[in-house]
């Protein structure tokens, strides 16, 4: 494996903080001042609307959204409306797709392959759905994908439902597909889930599928990454 990649786990962090970190790291990867990096994290309850999304895909009133303590944000990823919250593993790869010779469709295919391989290790058979991105178990979506590619560098990524409260998805039309349901590892009978072990298994499969070596950042390396200045001049 000639290509290397870092993993930075942010724990549970706000959507806004994750977007800020992604923007900063995107510039560093683009300017070749940082190797490819994969962020792993969880978000508090939030509904995000992608570039092709609409408020019409939110099925309850603003008052009900507020009562449920969920925020709604518009974002610059591809795709429509989705929900993030506790019990989901979120993965944001910030990688130079040109160096890996990947176009958008091949990149998404490899993300799906990574997820499918990981689910298989937990006894769940995931699959693709013709015409719909993401990973499915029969007619229920278990993993959603929404990416952005700018100047050959990816951002945003995918979420996998480990054991979230699935009733939150009733508030929306997930990914704008009205006739499909949502599932999780827990709802499929995988009731004991170590999220750290699942994350490590996912990273192992990401490494294999993308043919990159992955190193999880130490605390010192994390501190170094966060302390890099925002104002970067590329040559």
Residue ranges and CATH numbers for the domains of the chain are 3-227 (3.30.930.10)
Question: What amino acid positions are annotated as catalytic residues?
Answer: 175
Model-level pTM? 0.91
Judged by average pLDDT, the poorest of 48-52, 107-111, 123-127, 146-150 is 48-52
Count of CB atoms within 10 A of residue 151's CB? 12
Residues 45-95 have pLDDT tens digits of 999 988 877 777 888 787 887 788 888 888 888 788 889 999 999 999 999
Tokens of 95: 């990688």
Indicate the DSSP class of residue 43.
Answer: -
Vertex 43: Cα angle to 42 and 44 (nearest 5): 130
- Considering only residues 228 and 164, tell me which one the structure prediction assigns the higher pLDDT: 164
Residues 195-219 have pLDDT tens digits of 999 999 999 999 999 999 999 987 6
């Amino acid at each position: 494996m000639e290509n290397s990649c870092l993993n930075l786990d942010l724990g549970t962090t706000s959507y806004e903080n994750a977007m800020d970190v992604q923007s900063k790291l995107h510039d560093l990867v683009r300017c070749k001042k940082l190797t490819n990096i994969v962020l792993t994290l969880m978000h508090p309850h939030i509904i995000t609307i992608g570039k092709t999304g609409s408020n019409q895909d939110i099925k309850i009133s603003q008052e009900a959204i507020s009562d449920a303590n969920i925020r709604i944000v518009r974002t610059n990823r591809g795709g429509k409306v989705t929900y993030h919250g506790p019990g989901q593993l979120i993965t944001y790869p910030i990688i130079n797709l040109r160096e890996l010779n990947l176009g958008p469709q091949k990149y998404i295919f490899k993300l799906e392959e990574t997820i499918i391989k990981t689910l298989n290790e937990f006894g769940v058979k995931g699959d693709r759905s013709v015409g719909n991105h993401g990973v499915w178990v029969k007619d229920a979506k278990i993993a959603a994908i929404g990416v952005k590619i700018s100047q050959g560098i990816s951002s945003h990524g995918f979420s996998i439902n480990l054991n979230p409260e699935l009733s939150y998805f009733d508030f929306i039309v997930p990914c704008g597909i009205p006739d499909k349901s949502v599932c999780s590892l827990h709802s499929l009978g995988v009731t004991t889930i170590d999220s750290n072990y699942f994350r490590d298994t996912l990273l192992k499969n990401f490494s294999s599928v993308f043919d990159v070596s992955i190193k999880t950042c130490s605390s010192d390396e994390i501190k170094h990454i966060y302390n890099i200045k925002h104002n970067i001049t590329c040559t």
